[in-house]
Amino acid sequence: MESVFVTGTDTGIGKTYVAAGIAAALRRRGASVGVMKPFAAGAPGGAFAGGRESGPGNNVDGDAAILGDAAGAADDPPHLVCPHRYSMAASPYTAWMRGGEPKPDINRVLECYEEIEGMHDVVVVEGIGGVMTPILRSYSVADLIADMGIPAVVVCSDMLGTVNHTMMTVDACRRSNVTVRGIVINGGAGRPGSDRYDRHVLEQDLEELCGFNILGFVPPMPGAAAGARQTTSQAIGRLLDVSQIAGT
């Protein structure tokens, strides 16, 4: 069983619930599952800079909390699960350079990952934005995945334009020597009323053009918006080919 990094073609594409679905599915198989959200943007309370312990008002919330609930790992130390929390809703690079927030500490992130990995059988990591989202001036999310040494799952939408975005994402992974396990299509991403592909046409196009298997299709999940976090995560987990994702 291998840890996995969930990335996507864009922000707001559904990475969190796909990652939570993977975590829930692995937990259902009896694995001890850890989770990590190395960078969170728009987070109340700012960053756990330098690995500081959490304090009042600085508990893990948002995406990291959804992941922790799905994995049964809600009690893991918050400063390990989410080492950088930026109040500015932007890339880590922009929050640091333009927002005056702490400089991203890649070594600290990798140390946190190693600690969580040592606590569990497998770790599900959720990225921020897309693979080329800048963390430092010359260091992107793709570089972080490569340094963690784990494969990636790419989440995309089913909106028109997604083939272009997915091919660019996969190409960026290849150029950074990131192994891609496959692609998950999130049919609930994007604006209501957007033009969308026929599911089966899109699956064929992506498999042929990107060279990777489709690992699942997630239809719109009203429960996510309604706050039914665990139910939604479990339902998504049942839609995914977790054996391919985690190499089991």
Q: Which residues are catalytic?
A: 37
| Residue 150 φ/ψ, nearest 5 degrees | -125, 155
CA distance readout (Å), 135 to 42, 91, 97, 132, 178? 15, 7, 10, 9, 17
Which residue, among 176, 246, 245, has the nearest Cα to 214 in the 3D structure? Answer: 245
Question: In b/e form, how buried is each residue of 182-214, taking b as 16+ CB within 10 angstroms?
Answer: bbbbbbbbbeeeeeebeeeebbebbeeebebeb
The amino acid sitting at 139 is Y
The amino acid sitting at 167 is M
Q: Which helix (H) or strand (E) holds 9?
A: none
Which residue, among 164, 84, 101, has the nearest Cα to 130 in the 3D structure? Answer: 164
Within the chain, residue ranges assigned H as helices are 15-28, 62-71, 78-81, 92-97, 106-119, 141-148, 162-175, 199-210, 222-226, 229-237, 242-246
